[in-house]
Structure 1
Amino acid sequence: MPQQNSTIPGLAVALRISVMRLARRLRAQRSDTSLSLTQLAALAALDRRGQMTPTELAQHEKVQPPSMTRVIAALEERGLVRRTPHPTDRRQQLVELTTDGRRLLAADRRRREAWLSLRLRELTPQERETLRQASLILDRLSQS
């Protein structure tokens, strides 16, 4: 495979496969598998960005508003988010995390980060430094 990685298309294949495998392994470490990935992503977005309207949340997560409405309803039913009136537009509502939502998200992150920390300890200091640098580049790629 090293030969194949020397070209841009070969690197694209190798990187796609590696990132997908790692993402799959991290998903397997989820603390609450009853939540869909879309529900978990919505909770994470609310945690990072604060309260949002359902439309803003749908746009942020790149899903259709009716789909996000169903996601919010399921999360609200479980007590993980709540809707509050918009302060300036009575036609709108804001969605925000509840304390239970924050706790669930924190537990999920702790579990995944603990698993990944164990795997990182298996690497050499040089390999960890390479990944540190690669994480910056991967973040840049994900934003473009």
Structure 2
Amino acid sequence: MLDLSRAEDAAAVNSLRSAVMRLSRRLRHQRVDESLSPTEMSVLGTLSLCGSATPGELARKEHVQPPSMTRIVALLEAKGLVRLEPHPDDRRQKLVTRTERAETMLEESRRKRNAFLAGLVEGLDEEEWAKLRAAAPVLEKLAHL
């Protein structure tokens, strides 16, 4: 398995980290709404993927402190991108739900980023593209560990 004391493993991890960070940075610049922070976009993406959640659940999923998530949710609500609804089981809690406007914006953002990434992929040969297709599920798994 992985042994960072081996030069080839250390180099591979370093290369993967560097490539993922550069690609992520380039994709982040493909936003459709420049007024939203990357964290706000991430919260909307989480809501789109996982459905409604309490601010505490969102804070855990986004790896931020609950007070920070409260501020983020308030900003998104003020922009009309989320709404707070009563929790069905706990009247002390609220559920954060994305609005139709948020879903439309996310879909447009996904289209723009997918088109950008597709343009990059066109620069690959068939063998490189096949390797990247095969690696996609592994990268997805790493993203969620």
TM-score, normalised to structure 2, is 0.92
SS of 2:34 mapped into structure 1: coil
Structure 1: unaligned runs, 5 residues or longer: 1-5
Structure 2: unaligned runs, 5 residues or longer: 1-6
Match of 1:134 in 2: 135
Match of 1:105 in 2: 106
Q: Percent identity?
A: 46
- Counterparts of 1:88 and 1:139 in 2: how far apart (Å)? 32
Match of 1:64 in 2: 65
- Counterparts of 1:96 and 1:63 in 2: how far apart (Å)? 18
Over aligned residue pairs, what C-alpha RMSD do you find?
Answer: 1.4
Deviation at 1:139, TM superposition (A): 2.0
Match of 1:77 in 2: 78
Q: Cα deviation per residue 1:86-111 (whole Å; 9 max; x = unaligned)? A: 11211111000001010111111110
Paired residues in the alignment total: 140
- Counterparts of 1:90 and 1:141 in 2: how far apart (Å)? 36
Deviation at 1:132, TM superposition (A): 0.8
Which aligned pairs between 1:1-144 and structure 2 lie closer than 5 A?
A: 7-144=8-145
Runs of 4+ in 1 over 3 A off after TM superposition: none
- Counterparts of 1:123 and 1:79 in 2: how far apart (Å)? 40
